[in-house]
Amino acid sequence: MKEATIERYLCDRVKELGGIAYKFRSPARKHVPDRMVVLPGGIAAWIEVKAPGEVPRPGQWRELYRLQELGHWATYVDTKARVDAYLELIRGLASA
């Protein structure tokens, strides 16, 4: 399975949940996560998408940690199951 398959699945799932999965590229900063996901209830999260079994590169880890330190939800996903689990986790925030 390719990274594009996981990314498409993420976008489709977010849309099913009534949200938007923005493709994000920063012209001034390298290694920013691939997607900014916005869900109903004021939930926003940054997601780096990888092919199954792959992990973020060191610069990508650094950006994910930086976002987390600023209080943002930020992670990577490499399988459809991880996409589902993470979306379920952040959706729980809206009902908390």
pLDDT in tens, the chain (96 residues): 899 999 999 999 999 999 999 998 888 889 999 999 999 999 999 999 999 999 999 999 999 999 999 999 999 999 999 999 999 999 887 666
pLDDT given for residue 26 in this prediction: 85
pLDDT given for residue 96 in this prediction: 60
Which residues touch 63 (CB under 8 Å, ≥6 apart)? 29, 31, 32, 33, 74
State the residue range of the domain holding 12: 3-95
pLDDT given for residue 95 in this prediction: 65
pLDDT given for residue 27 in this prediction: 87
- Total structural domains within the chain: 1
Give me the CATH number covering residue 54. Answer: 3.40.1350.10
pLDDT given for residue 94 in this prediction: 65
Which residues touch 52 (CB under 8 Å, ≥6 apart)? 1, 6, 78, 79
Closest CA to 70 of 22, 26, 32, 14: 32
